[in-house]
A and B are shown apart, each in its own frame.
Chain A
Amino acid sequence: MSVLVDENTRVVVQGITGGEGKFHTEQMLEYGTNVAAGAVPGRGGQEVAGVPVYDTVHQAVEAEDANASVVFVPPAFAADACFEALDAKGLDLVVAITEGVPTQDMSRVYRKLQETDTYLVGPNCPGLITPGVAKLGILPGNIFSSGNVGLVSRSGTLTYQVVDNLTDRGLGQTTAIGIGGDPIIGTGFIDALELFEADPDTHAVVMCGEIGGEDEEEAARYIGANMDTPVAGFIAGRTAPPGKRMGHAGAIVSGSGTGTAQSKITALENNGVPVGDTPEEVADHVEDLL
């Protein structure tokens, strides 16, 4: 019924005493997420929204049996927070919400990630949600509904838009994952697609990409070669001029024709993935695929 997040997910919130950390801990608890602990150096022994705080992630994992973490730590310390989470045995999933993490820092985190079995989602992402069960991150819970469509997206607000179009048609979701738009991220499209392919309750997948990089092209080839579950796609940035950075660090089109919206759309369509011109059309395609 879901990937990565279910009723057994026990979360430690890194940076729980900060403004964002506190607010979204409350939101997550309200949604039903099992927030088991917080971790903030020097704040061990305190409580936030009834959740016990520890000085280190290691202590939190040991004391509260946490198996996932959400990072709400400022950019300068975010990589260190990720390293701490990856070093704590027992965490299967780390979700880094922080925006503006230096790329070289992420390069080192990514290097460490290869030595572990942990999934790192983000950074600069809205997180992930299994509707009706739990959300890890900042997604607005009320627009999601439970169902059989998996969703993976590089952009947060675009995720909300597409989910809104799906929910409107009665197309509920198994899990929606915002993987983030930075140049180097942990869990990528292919990791997420693999998980959805293996989930018997996910009957169709929506993949939302954007200009920049070649991850969508690689994902398209993966879908063509490995997936039985049908996929519908959307690519943002068709009108973006080459050489200009459009918000996301990764969303820049090089002049040479790679990483463009058209190259991504073509790659998807060549591998049997219908691509919507508008979010509404994506919902049309999903209806057809189910």
Chain B
Amino acid sequence: MRLHEYQAKQVFADAGVPTPASRLAETVEEAVAAADEIGYPVAIKAQVHVGGRGKAGGIELVENAEEAREAAENIIGMDLKGYHVRTVLVEEAVDFVNELYVGVTMDRGEGKPVAMVSTKGGVNIEEVAEEDPDAIAREHIDPAFGMHPFQARKVVYDAGVDRNLANDVARVLQTLYQLWDDRDGSDVEVNPLMITSDDEVIAADAVMNIDDDALFRQPELAEMGEEAADGDELEQKADEYGFDYVRLSGNVGIIGNGAGLVMTTLDLVDHYGGAPANFLDVGGGAKADRIANALDMVFSDENVDSVVFNIFGGITRGDEVAQGINQALEQFDEIPKPVVVRLAGTNAAEGMEILNEDLVTVEHTLEDAVQRAVDYAGEVDK
């Protein structure tokens, strides 16, 4: 789960990381009032979960009320890489002489956290990591001990940060690690950390990604995350139903159990010349209602022309799945889109007996089921 910039900045500021004066605005009037209050120049920044907001027109620097109004009008309500901008952060523009990158993340290969500092801040750090990996100093942290102060200093000096600033930057890094550790962060970053002509450090942006699996012990952040949700309608519906769901651009709807098997089903749709409309994992042990909800989700996507159900039961039971499919389809006078079902594993035979074959097409292997669904979707196109 990712917090918006304004939320992450609040968390950072509460922990003692210096941040610029700022206010959140939902309307053009609010934005102009906020800018007047903070004093010009200010930056008007779209609050959406998209990298590279500046290049995409989601951040404007303005010098007066007129420009502020124009920028707010441009940004509020705009579509930024597929995300609808509802709010902007109006923020004091920092007069800086230098920019750094400071961050903490989990190095999954090593199984331990890594702290990173680079003097190449202010740009896309992923690009720096690829093109000039040596420009990022790294220090792995033993999760049993946490970050020692010397480690924070070491990585700051390794990055070549100016000696006058080293202590302040190390303090910011130490605070970020503490936040990462206490708040179950997956990525906690400041980019850029701006350096002013008076050698002050100020966090001009803030990234805070939280481990979804740890939200049960971070209720305050979970609540912020709900406010921050900005996926499309279907993705929000999937959240309500509790599905792992990703919308894609094709027309073959896919429902299965288990991430690896669902991904494989997507790949086979592609392999047989079709295009997947979505990834939908009902998870383990799904009961009839859940299966019915999954069908409801996929039918709500107007791009879908056919649906393939691929269930290989372990914990999940074929009879429960069949009941759910019947339950969902029997309410229609006419089935909206053809549904192909493949059931295997636990209680698959029982499921096959229950399944109403007037409503669905049954196939016995994964390959046949996918091919059939692709054929159905293709016929609609013609």
A: residues with CB less than 8 A from B are: 75-76, 99-108, 110-112, 126, 138-140, 143, 153-161, 164, 181, 183-184, 208, 210-211, 213-215, 218, 234, 236-241, 244-251, 254-256, 261, 277-280
Contacts and interface: CB of A to CB of B under 8 A. Distances in A.
Given A102-B184, A104-B143, A236 B263 contact: yes
B142 A256 contact: no
Contact of A157 (B184, B246, B312): B312
Interface stretch (B15-23, B93-101, B208-216): B208-216
B56 to A, nearest CB: 15
B373 to A, nearest CB: 14
Contacts of A104: 106, 113, 143, 181, 184, 211, 214
A183 B106 contact: yes
B213 A103 contact: yes
Interface of B: 106, 108-109, 111-113, 126, 129-130, 142-144, 181, 184, 186, 211-214, 216-217, 244, 246, 248, 256-264, 266-271, 276, 279, 281, 284, 312-315, 344-346, 365-367
Given A211-B263, A238-B270, A107 B111 contact: yes
A177 B185 CA distance: 30
18 contacts: A101-B213, A102-B214, A104-B143, A111-B143, A140-B313, A158-B258, A158-B260, A160-B345, A184-B108, A218-B109, A236-B267, A239-B267, A239-B270, A239-B276, A240-B266, A241-B248, A245-B244, A277-B267
Given A143-B345, A160-B312, A240-B266, A111 B211 contact: no
Contact of B244 (A108, A143, A214, A246): A246
A237 B266 CA distance: 8
Contacts of A103: 106, 186, 211, 213-214
Contacts of B130: 256
Contacts of B143: 104, 107-108, 111
A278 B263 contact: no
Tell me the dominant secondary structure on chain B's binding face.
mixed
A249 B9 CA distance: 26
Given A153-B260, A211-B263, A239-B267, A249 B314 contact: no
Contact of A210 (B260, B281, B367): B260
Nearest to B314: A140
Contacts of A184: 106, 108, 111
Contact of B260 (A154, A164, A241, A244): A154
Given A99-B284, A143-B345, A161-B264, A244 B213 contact: no
B314 A111 contact: no
A247 B281 contact: yes
